Structure 1
């Protein structure tokens, strides 16, 4: 029987954060960090490439680690809502004269065809896909809970949470508005520069989360920058446990633990020992269900509370330069 919604076409839509593909100079160190310590499952390894997921992720992977000379982000991927949305997005991007590349099925293990492009105004390599395998874990890792892909291990990463990216102050308005107008991200909370026009930071989502994607101005004029990738833990206390455990393994802390005012989640920023990429260990936060949600604007005098509600002290200097030396600014 056909559903009422089948009579209407909302157009192509992004459903959620899918995965991040990180280059690492030392794959074994990165695997020790993400798998042994954070507890992510290694679903598949093909030579110098490993695919991992959290214990509540049923799809093939949310993290790809690739041994290479440069520790750069190879791609940020998002899953779309319907199989046809991949082609619909590609057609629209071509109409806008945005160069696209079809990534064939299997180019990233377990994943179907994707469309790859650079975000206008930021240069970040985004990929959109729908089809992805849902393999069972090895029997010795399998959970009795059918909603879990594996048992909880290590520090208990449940899933990927969000990406935080940076682009230049000169291009951030173009990039931030493009992802909202073309990929359907909703602005949830934001701050502007002193000119009250240029975006300083914007937290956006396609899910009820406060942000699946954050975009921050880089005052050094850099584009295509990763600020951090966040992985979700179940409880606020899990972040404190993570801090205690990771200190004992000499993992470098960047900031935290503490709590953000923006999004209201607990945070701990650390560096992956193999790649140097900044990783946020993240728990809590509020959810948005109101269809008429109005974005919350943070004024300059309020902004320090938005960045750190409690935890590391932070003094906001009124520009994006201070955000780059203070990871909590990116949330």
Structure 2
């Protein structure tokens, strides 16, 4: 007897891109292109499209010249072309307003659907089709899996995105991300003074510990952006970055150190053109167990989760590590 083909429904493949608004595009370009070593694939007026040296798609980073340093969108690639439309129908059926974006809304990208995450109000964009251009000949690598030669500090790919929202909406948003979009909770912590409220949750659709994290914003505001992480090859690369960046006029955030949560080495700095927090991230562990049970961090061990070694992150009242950037609304 022939069994009907199983359809798992629409699914997300990975966190694929971010569009950062910057008041100083040239300074941001210097930071991401010349210092971090990303390839400038295309620039149209005040919008620049970049990718890291192991990314074959058109871009993972969009820099948009604008007055306010806010995040215009968080992009996720879905697993199949039809998943864009299937997610759109799912959102409509559940009362989540979504906008259709035509092919080319972002250069090199196909049709997309844009919506705000219920509760947190972060602007997500889902897409499948994206061009895979060759780098200009002078930048090409002999390694076929590299889109270009390694340059600068050598960021390899976009690793994950960290979001924050108000204490009153974080549970709704985190639950919706899991139940409606298929993210799996890998590690998490609760607010010690309010144990029913999620302090932070690390979520993934890949074997990574997190493709996306969401937690409580210090300002108790929705739609806040904490950081985007770019992956580098090894711990030594993080230390080299720290050494080189110390000599430059760049706001040094935190690190180098190692997280207990996720077990990766980190260095946080700020894009000098926009002030957005950027993490250079290496290591970590992968999850292959299909029955993985989410790990809960409680006091006093939670401090080790934030920093296993290195300077303890400044997460107290008014701490610099709690600063965030705003996100755009539904209309891009």
TM-score (norm 1): 0.94
Per-residue CA deviation, residues 18-61 of structure 1 (Å, 9 max, x unaligned), is 10000000000000000000000000010110000000000000
**Aligned match for 2:5, one of 4, 7, 11:** 7
Residues 199-210 of structure 1 correspond to what in structure 2 (within 5 A)? 199-210=198-209
1:5 CA displacement: 11
Per-residue CA deviation, residues 247-300 of structure 1 (Å, 9 max, x unaligned), is 112211011111100000010110000000000011110111111100000012
Query: What's 2:86 paired with?
Result: 88
CA contact (8 A) 1:255 1:327 kept: no
1:176 CA displacement: 0.3
Residues 1-331 of structure 1 correspond to what in structure 2 (within 5 A)? 7-194=5-192, 195-314=194-313, 325-326=320-321
CA contact (8 A) 2:13 2:77 kept: yes
Q: Distance in 1 between matches of 2:113 and 2:92?
A: 11
Segments of 5+ residues of structure 1 without an aligned counterpart are: none
Per-residue CA deviation, residues 125-177 of structure 1 (Å, 9 max, x unaligned), is 00000000000000000000111000000000100000000000000000000
Q: Distance in 2 between matches of 1:250 and 1:21?
A: 23
What is the root-mean-square deviation in Å for CA atoms of aligned residues? 1.7
> Given the superposition, is the C-alpha separation of residues 315 and 218 from structure 1 closer, same or farther in structure 2, using an over 3 Å criterion?
closer
1:301 CA displacement: 1.1
Runs of 4+ in 1 over 4 A off after TM superposition: 314-317
Q: Distance in 1 between matches of 2:4 and 2:37?
A: 40
CA contact (8 A) 2:48 2:64 kept: yes
> Given the superposition, is the C-alpha separation of residues 144 and 5 from structure 1 closer, same or farther in structure 2, using an over 3 Å criterion?
farther
TM-score (norm 2): 0.94
1:187 CA displacement: 0.3
CA contact (8 A) 1:116 1:126 kept: yes
> Given the superposition, is the C-alpha separation of residues 5 and 187 from structure 1 closer, same or farther in structure 2, using an over 3 Å criterion?
farther
Q: Distance in 2 between matches of 1:172 and 1:5?
A: 41
Q: Distance in 1 between matches of 2:72 and 2:267?
A: 24
> Given the superposition, is the C-alpha separation of residues 54 and 62 from structure 1 closer, same or farther in structure 2, using an over 3 Å criterion?
same
Q: Distance in 1 between matches of 2:4 and 2:246?
A: 52
Segments of 5+ residues of structure 2 without an aligned counterpart are: 324-332
